[in-house]
């Protein structure tokens, strides 16, 4: 019997009440993503992209269906268990970076490790490694206001990978960047897949960003329009 995919979704559904109306941003979604894949999710606003991202990252829980991440049934976890699981298994990359403005790049990257059972020396070593990987070791003591947008996003990526998670989720990671900076960020994401075996799920509206992925899937009103991945051209 073949091994289960890294991300395994079956009949995944998310609904919530808005007043007396039931809203269903995801409906009976089936999805397989292999370990070390780079998946781009595209679709119009309200299609369920961010909802799916929040489910696979453990930020939210489905209403029904099956969701396994790397063999773990995350639907059976309590909110506290999800929080602990997410801290070590998932890195989240935001469009607007979400850096703390009064902290240096080093301190921003260190934040996810502060509650981990690590010595100060171990934390410093991990942060230094993450900053070196994204090419910002020389900016470690700069605050966000002293960095370009592309550099801020690199700090955010370093923060996402500092705990060495297997899964990275990215919500429009190039949406606030110029074309050159966006291309550099996409190349960095590809390196995280090809050199370090990370699995990446990225939401984007930009076809150029989607072209950096191994496969592109489209969502429309909570349903996948394509069941087969598209092999994408490299940016």
Q: What is the pLDDT of residues 129-171, one digit of tens each?
A: 999 999 999 999 999 999 999 999 999 999 999 999 999 999 9
SS3 category, 208: helix
Structure confidence by residue, pLDDT tens digits, 23-45: 888 889 999 999 999 999 998 88
Domain regions of the chain by residue span: 35-54+77-228
Q: Where would I find the beta strands (DSSP E) of 48-160?
A: 64-69, 72-73, 90-93
- Which one, of 35, 25, 30, 32, lies nearest residue 12 by Cα? 30
* Contact criterion met (CB below 8 Å) for 189 and 195: no
Q: How far apart are CA 121 and CA 135, in angstroms?
A: 21
Identify the weakest region by mean pLDDT among 1-5, 120-124, 126-130, 187-191: 1-5
CATH class belonging to 35-54+77-228 = alpha beta
């Amino acid at each position: 019997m073949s091994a289960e995919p890294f991300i395994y979704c079956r009949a995944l559904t998310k609904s919530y009440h808005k007043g007396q109306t039931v809203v269903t941003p995801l409906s009976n979604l089936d999805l397989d993503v292999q370990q070390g894949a780079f998946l781009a999710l595209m679709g119009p606003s309200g299609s369920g992209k961010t909802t799916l991202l929040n489910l696979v990252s453990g930020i939210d829980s489905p209403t029904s269906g099956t969701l396994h991440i790397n063999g773990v049934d995350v639907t059976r976890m309590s909110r506290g268990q999800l929080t602990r699981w997410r801290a070590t298994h998932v890195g989240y990359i935001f469009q607007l970076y979400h850096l703390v403005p009064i902290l240096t790049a080093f301190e921003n990257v260190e934040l996810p490790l502060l509650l981990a059972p690590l010595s100060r020396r171990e934390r410093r070593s991990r942060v230094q490694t993450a900053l070196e990987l994204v090419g910002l070791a020389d900016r470690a003591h700069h605050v966000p206001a002293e960095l370009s947008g592309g550099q801020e996003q690199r700090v955010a990526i370093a923060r996402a990978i500092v705990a060495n998670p297997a899964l990275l989720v990215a919500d429009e990671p190039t949406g606030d960047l110029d074309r050159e900076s966006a291309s550099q960020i996409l190349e960095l994401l590809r390196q995280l897949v090809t050199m370090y075996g990370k699995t990446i799920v990225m939401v984007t509206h930009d076809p150029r960003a989607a072209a950096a992925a191994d496969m592109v899937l489209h969502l429309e009103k909570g349903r996948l329009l394509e069941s087969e991945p598209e092999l994408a051209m490299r940016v």
